[in-house]
Each structure stands twice: as structure tokens, then as C-alpha cells.
A and B are shown apart, each in its own frame.
Chain A
Amino acid sequence: MVVSLLIFLVTQGFPTDPAERILGREATPEALEALRAQFGLDDPLHEQYLQWLGGILTGDLGTSYATQVPVADYIGPRVGNSLFLLLCGALASIPVSVAIGAYAALRRDRGFDAASSIVSLVLAAMPEFVVGTLLVVLVATNVVQWFPAVTYLEVGAPPWSDAQGLVLPVLTLVISVAPYVARVMRASMIEVLESDYVEMARLKGLPERVVLWRHGFPNAVGPIFQVIALNLAYLAGGVVVVERLFNFPGIGSAIADSVVARDLPVIQFLALVIATVYVLTNLLADLGTVLVTPRLRTRLR
């Protein structure tokens, strides 16, 4: 609730006049008045807010200032695209980073651990568009040309119709997120491996593999959910840049375009969507952590 209020306040309750910006400085006063009436900008602020909320709940998202097309039509297919992208990114990154983190913990302080830690650090430090651009230079344009540098997806076509164009954006997202997950997985795994719990299992004479998979892993995975959700949340912000970089028709590039055009209804709605996803994923993280960690679960009982 607070989030929506905040978004609305920031975007609608500001000094400059949207009508003027759409029609340009030379617009006649009558034209400005007409536009304002059309968009309901004359009404007091709190009425506008209620109108907007009501609209969202009933599915009427207003009309885009820039394209004069109902926001819902403009956004609809893009949301699907972005979700698909994020999903691919998440699905690809989780096994990879969990595996790296776990392996690094097992071979702690030896070759793989040291190497992966440095690579993680390097990759995590760079902003996403840098990672993306370097990828493009390496595999799309200058060194080799295995993948296209931009996606050719049309709005409305299913996202998987341009599979080749998906590779680099997904890869960029994976590289942005994986270091964090791997690092936490490693720390968690180390803690578990040194715990009494695992000691006991080993002393009982269980084969190492059982120790790891039945006793070690489930406990190590607990904090991962929180980090993964946090990273999904972070990706929700990063998706803007990645989509813009690869011309991917999703809500990220939509937000970038609408900020340039100062397209209020679009910005408001998209900001709400992304912020909601962000908050939800954080909540899910906390829930998931509690559910998955066997130790915590018994404490709950």
C-alpha cells in the first residue's frame, strides 16, 4: 500500500505540468485544458490517487501519454516476455551457482576455491551492462560471432520464438547474480560441513556421499533462498539495463523508454509491478528459508 502511495505521490504530485510536456510549449491554453480534463488532472490529488488505484484493481490502467494506447495493451505482452527472461535467468543461475559454491566449500582453500572466489569478485563488481557489453564484444561481434548482439523479438510473439537472441541476455543475468549465490552457498556449506551434525553422521560410519546429500546439503540450502530471492529482486532492477542493452521488448526497456518520454501512466504501473515483485520475492525468501531448514523447522514445532 505504502509503495503505491509513494509512487503515485512522486509521479503525480510534482510541480511540472504533464499536459504541457505532451503538447509542447506552443500549445494553446484551450488545448492544454482539454488534455487535462481528459486525463483527469484537474481533480484534486487524492481523488486522482483513488481513481488510479481503482483503475488498477479493475484492470483499467489508463492510457499511455506517449502512444495514446491503453496501458494494458502496451504492457501486457511485455510483462510475459520479462517474466520469461527472469525465469530463464533464475533457472539457469541457481544450479550453476549452488554447484560452484558447494564444490568450493568441499575443496576449501584449494585451487578451485581460490580461483572461483576471484572470478566471483570480479564478476560481481561490474555493472550488468558492462558484463553484457563485454559478452557482446566477445561472442557476438568482434571476437567470434556465435550469437546475435540484439534480440529480434517482436512484441506479441512468444518469447521463445527467438531462442538464439535469448542466450546473451540470460547469460548476462546469470553472470550478474551467480557470484552472490555461490558465495553464500559456499559459506553455508562450510558451516554445515563443520557442524556437529555432520560430525555425528560421519562418526556413525555413513558413507561420505550420504553424509553430504542427506545431512549436509539440506541444511546448507536454507540461507540460499533468501539470497536467491534477494538476487531475483536485484535482477528486477537490473532487467531494465539488460533489456535496453539487447533490445529485448520487456517491461525493463518499456520503463526506460517511458522515463525518457515522461509517460506517467506507464511509469506508474511498471514501477508498481517491479516494486511489488521486489517486495514479494523478499517475503518469499524469508518464508522459504524457514520452511527449508530442517533445524529451524523443528524449532518452530
Chain B
Amino acid sequence: MGRTRFGLALTGLLALTAVFGPFVAPYGPTDFIDLPSTREVPGTLLGTDYFGQDVWSRFLHGGREILLLALVATGLGILLGATLGMYAAYRRGRTDEMIMRSLDVVLSFPQVLLSLVVIAMFGPSAWLIVLTVALSTTPRVARIIRGAAISVVESDFVAAADALGESRRRIIGAEVLPNVTAALLVEANLRLTYAIGLIASLAFLGFVPNPNAANWGLMVQENRLSLGEQPWGTLLPTLAIALLTIGTGLIGDGLSRAAAGIDRGRAQD
């Protein structure tokens, strides 16, 4: 379990930095401090970035956007995907087919590409980014949850609830859902890791809601040219994103191993 705890620590640390960073930053994210791309600047921790702003302060400000967008997008994708997956598994037959086929259409695009195409049309606004990431997350979640739900749906207690005439919504909510929770948690974590990576990558390519705001992904791109003299402009946000995703990845690893334990327990009943 050492891995998972380490992952929790990493994620927690970076999440805290992202959320509370702006409160402790010595300068604002767009304050002009000194000459651009200078490593040693009195009054700053790590010098200035390509625009003359304080690298450390921008780093402290830069996590919020990515984290927030990723969390909301993942949450939305999980909600939609899990609901669709469970519903498809429960109904089976033609409904199942129809749902999964339509989701397959979305699946035929790599996630980055889908977002890029949509952004090309409507611009990189915050809610649009959230929507497209959620859109590409949903079918992937739905597949997994449907797979997990299929075995639950064929079990005795669901058949019993059916026979008793319980409403569909109750059955799905009260019988199916609790039994796919393990798979759901693991998938949620995996999707969050990808969402963070995806949104950071989009930011790296320049697609952010506010180009002036500090954003880790964007900062990596902005400061790339001055890697030689001022590595921290790029290195700090890079490390931040790396550690954050590694953290969530480690948590996911622990979760999936715990989930395997849960299932093993049930199989022994």
C-alpha cells in the first residue's frame, strides 16, 4: 500500500498547491517584475519568465484552471457514461445495441482530435473544453461500466427486484450501482488522470480559455524557447503536471488492486 499512500500524498500536495497557491503567491500572475527570462532576479525565488513575470507566482496560480476543468469534465463524463452503461446493460437487446453503437461513433476519434476539431469551430472557452472532454470520456466509461453491470444484471437479486415490480430507476440505482462501484472508482480515477493530461496538452497547444492567465500547460509552451537560460519557466510547470498525474495514477493503481480484492471476496460467497 506504500505506493497508494505516496500517490495520495503527491496528488494532495499538488492539488493543494493548485487550490491555495494563488493565496500565497508573492506576486500576481500578470505582474511585470523585471527583464524577461532572467534566472537570478532579486525578490523572486526562481526568476522571471518569457514575459517578465515571476515564475514562482505563476506556478502557484497555474494549477487551478487545469484541475478545475479536469474535475468537472471527468465528473460529467462519469455521470453520463455510468448511467448509459448501466442502462444499456440492464435493458440489453436493441436498446443496448443502439446506445453502444452511437457511443462507438464518438469512440472512433482519438480524444485529442475530437477536442481539437470542436475547438476549431467554437474557440477554446472553458465550458466548451469541459464539454468536449466529457464527451470523449463518456463512451469509454460507458463501455467499462456496462461490462461490469452485465454480470450484476443477470444475478438473482436483480431478477428478484424485477419480479417484485420495482421501478427501473430504483433497480439501477439501488441494486446495480452499488455493485459496480469498484469498477466505477477505478475508471473514474483513470479518466481523471487522462482528463488532466488532455486538458494540459490542449493548454500546451495554446487552447486555453484565458491566454493571460497562468496555466501550467500553457506555461510549458510559452517558456520553451528560453530553456537554456531560464529552465524553471518550463521545468516547474512540467514537473507539476508530471507529479500530479503520477499521483493520480498511483492512487488508481491502489484502487484497482483493492477492487480486485473486493471482487475476489464476492466470488468466494
Among A38-46, A80-88, A121-129, the one that faces the other chain is: A121-129
Min CB–CB distance A248 → chain B (angstroms): 14
Q: Are B116 and A259 in contact (CB under 8 A)?
A: yes
In Å, the complex CA distance between A122 and B244 comes to 11
Q: Are A125 and B204 in contact (CB under 8 A)?
A: no
A255/B110 contact (C-beta < 8 A), A125-B249, A141-B228 known: no
Which of these, A134, A236, A267, contacts B120 with CB under 8 Å?
A: A267
Q: Are A244 and B205 in contact (CB under 8 A)?
A: yes
Q: Are A128 and B109 in contact (CB under 8 A)?
A: no
Within 8 A of B (CB), among A2-18: 2-3, 6-7, 10-11, 14, 16
Q: Are A274 and B110 in contact (CB under 8 A)?
A: yes
Q: Are B109 and A275 in contact (CB under 8 A)?
A: yes
> Quick check: is B176 within 8 A (CB to CB) of the other chain?
no
Q: Are B105 and A129 in contact (CB under 8 A)?
A: no
Q: Are A278 and B108 in contact (CB under 8 A)?
A: yes
Which of these, A260, A267, A279, contacts B117 with CB under 8 Å?
A: A267
Provide the B211-233 mask, 1 if CB < 8 A to any CB of A, else 0. 00000010010001001100100
Contacts of A264 in B (CB 8 A): 120
Q: Are B249 and A142 in contact (CB under 8 A)?
A: no
Which of these, B105, B193, B200, B238, contacts A6 with CB under 8 Å?
A: B105
Q: How many residues of B contact A (CB 8 A)?
A: 42
A236/B110 contact (C-beta < 8 A), A133-B220, A137-B231, A256-B205 known: yes
Q: Are B112 and A237 in contact (CB under 8 A)?
A: yes
A271/B227 contact (C-beta < 8 A), A260-B206, A278-B110 known: no
Which of these, B3, B109, B113, B235, contacts A240 with CB under 8 Å?
A: B113
Min CB–CB distance A262 → chain B (angstroms): 6
A129/B204 contact (C-beta < 8 A), A137-B234, A141-B231 known: yes
Within 8 A of A (CB), among B115-170: 116-122
In Å, the complex CA distance between A130 and B235 comes to 9
Q: Are A255 and B116 in contact (CB under 8 A)?
A: yes
Min CB–CB distance B115 → chain A (angstroms): 9
In Å, the complex CA distance between A260 and B207 comes to 8
Which one of B109, B206, B249 has the highest number of Cβ atoms from chain A below 10 Å of its Cβ? B109
CB within 8 Å of A: which residues of B?
Answer: 3, 105, 108-113, 116-122, 193, 196-198, 200-201, 204-207, 217, 220, 224, 227-228, 231, 234-235, 238, 241-242, 245-246, 248-250, 253
| A-B contact sample (6 more), CB < 8 A, given A141-B227, A141-B228, A271-B117 | A149-B227, A233-B110, A234-B110, A237-B111, A240-B112, A259-B207
What are 5 residue pairs bridging A and B, where the CB atoms are less than 8 Å apart in the complex? Answer: A121-B253, A133-B224, A133-B238, A134-B238, A236-B110
